[in-house]
Structure 1
Amino acid sequence: MPDVKGVGDGGRWRSKRLGELGSSIFSEVSQWKREAMANGMDVIDLGIGSPDKPPSEAVRNTLAKAALRLDNYMYPAIKSDMPFKETAARWMDHRFGVKCEPAAEMVTLLGSQDGLAHLAMAICDPGDIALLPDPGYPIYTASLALAGVQPVMMPLRAENGYLPDLDAISDEVWRSAKLLLVNYPNNPLSAIADLDFFRRLLKKAEMYDVLIVQDLAYSEMGFDGVVPPSILQVEGAFRYAVEFHSLSKSFNMAGCRIGFLAGNRDAVGALRELKANIDYGAFYPVQEAGIAALREAMENTGYERAGSLYERRRNRFVEALQRIGWEVELPKATMFLWAKLPEMKWGGNWDSRTFSQELLRKAGVVVIPGEAFGQEGKGFVRIALVEDEERLLEAAERIGAFIAE
């Protein structure tokens, strides 16, 4: 009789591909948190970038009313998602001056991560090459592993403003690449890019016939007057670019799972075709809530962008960190701080994983080790501004006591 491995032992019923999905640090951090809470620790969780505020009252009321309608419980694909896409198209025009054809140049997603996870499968073949940022959001590499696509990493470093050095990429790699992915404003770096960078990027795309994928999940989270642009604002961008948008962070709808992809109709159509074989669309009340959120942003003159809240938190928290001796740069966007490990008073020489684990164990503050995002993240941590200001100040005090030990 053959040896039958037990359930959960990571052997017989686990594919090798799962081991290629990227960092396991997020699950490690969750385990550290559970252990700290089991030991009675009051934990301040600045790890996962999940908004701590709900969507507006108007959005919540729309969702509640729609959820009570009896005709909203069929498969969402049976009802058209055109109302959501048409509203998203109006928002793209309102926000960026970009005109999209909803039917051909947009696809509705269960959050942008849904699209990020599946796009490579829709437009690439096994063995193709894709250019990815390092550091980068983990789903970028995971999506390539699922599709059998080979990643080529583009280091993002401070001396280049955390932009990829496009000229350092060899002609051979450019000619072989199927797609290049960028993310500005950036998670985890909080770096920003302007239209001049996107123009240079699209010039390379045209030269080498490469699809540019821009992840714009943090479009409404610019600080100090920064208004993040869309790559689709560049003339001719629809020939070589697609762009992901999400209502999760900018509209506090992370749990609703709603977003969209806009841009090149061939790539958008390929993702739409793949998703037609995977799911039946976003729950219709969630689509209606998304419509309400986008309309509110366009029509309510007193509407406050999400970035305003995180800018206030950034200001107070960074000031508090600097007071305790941790020199953290002020980010220009997103809900994150990207911080080089502080100097420990006692001369400790920890890596980012050890620092994060000990900070949680001794001070009860959760941060994410930078290596979760790639090789270039070593020696850094990502801190999410997802607690109110008083808790952030308390976290700074705890961190100060920890690094002064």
Structure 2
Amino acid sequence: MLTGPEPEPAPASEDLLRRLAPQVLGALVRRYGHFDAAEDAVQEALLAAARQWPEQGRPANPRGWLIRVASRRLTDQLRSEDARRRREETAAALTPRDEFVAPPPGEGRAPSEDDTLALLFLCCRAELPPAGRIALTLRAVGGLTTAEIARALLVPEATMAQRISRAKRRIKASEAPFGIRPDGTAGTDRADGTRGADGTGPEAAEGRAARLADVLHVLYLIFNEGYTATSGSDLQRADLAAEAIRLTRAVHAQLPADGEVAGLLALMLLTDARRTARTTPDGDLIPLAEQDRTRWDHAAIAEGVALVSDALTHAPLGPYQLRAAIAAVHDEAAGDEDTDWAEILALYELLIRLVPGPVERLGHAVAVAMVHGPRRALALLAELDGDERLAGHHRLEGVRAHLLEMAGERAAARAAYAKAAGLTLSVPERRYLRFRAARLAE
């Protein structure tokens, strides 16, 4: 039954529809399979809600309404494809199990919130290319439209549509399992309604751990792109970073005891807490050392510190926890001069043992410079010059310029800043690097 229109929030608010979209999609995929067709049906249901709810009022159970409408759209689509006979033959396999009860006449019953986590796992399959994982996750779980994703990632909409379509086709072809259970119990449930392996034993545990690592990696990439855009006129895309935080909260809600999930959420909160202080009113970059720390979000910092502190105490040590701990040391310092660089260096020493990647080693070099001086750090950078992963990347030259400036080599530092500026596609970063180079020419 429909209620009268509500004053606030709007009857078909974008936030509500975005929050409900993955739950509705999860319900349809769990019941029917057909990920691609189910996603289209959910989009049609969301459009119907956007049209009807402002005029007719929001349903008492919006999620049940969307499930019912989307199920109807999906059924019509399957029927139009002349699949009646095959559906009848597999009717028993497609009957909902205990985890999901089909909506009865009226509002229906809401699906489990666990479907959001299952969709994250489904969209973050390792065999999908990284760009496809990010795009599909934002579309299916984040509730963003193809146009919004294209704008966020600075890709033409037609290109993004092709990228999403390819990812969905690969999921369909792989017969990917749906309903991977976060507690590790029982079997995995396939999208076609059949039951997979019993989900126990070391192989199943390793598979779950690998898939979770993929999920966290994709969320980390999404957040990084939102916090520091790789190209474009804006340094940050706050909506993209916020979406990554929201999705990571959803994973943490399902896996509260996992130290790396808590560590990633803490890292995002501790990093995003500085967002409003990172740019001038004109959008120019303000480095960490020069930021007004009174503008930081201290509630987010407190939450992040509590999360990582608990994880470090009760869970096996992992790279996201260490990254979060480094961010916490920065955030808890009253000023840049109060930063405990010795502790940061110790944390980086642990991090590069676990993840000896180029980005981690760059951060380690900066910490070495702050504790032992720039000369030793510059020697570490020389070891990274041959790393193909950093070839043509502005961050290596930017760090080199900073260290050369610390060492008093102004001409070399100016050249390195200019080289870094020529490599970045981010307009604010380019302006900042050119400013640093120009200042050294004075």
The answer, yes or no, to whether TM exceeds 0.5 is no
After TM superposition, the score normalised by the length of structure 1 is 0.27
Structure with the bigger percentage of strand:
1
Q: Which has the larger radius of gyration?
A: 2
After TM superposition, the score normalised by the length of structure 2 is 0.25
Structure with the bigger percentage of helix:
2
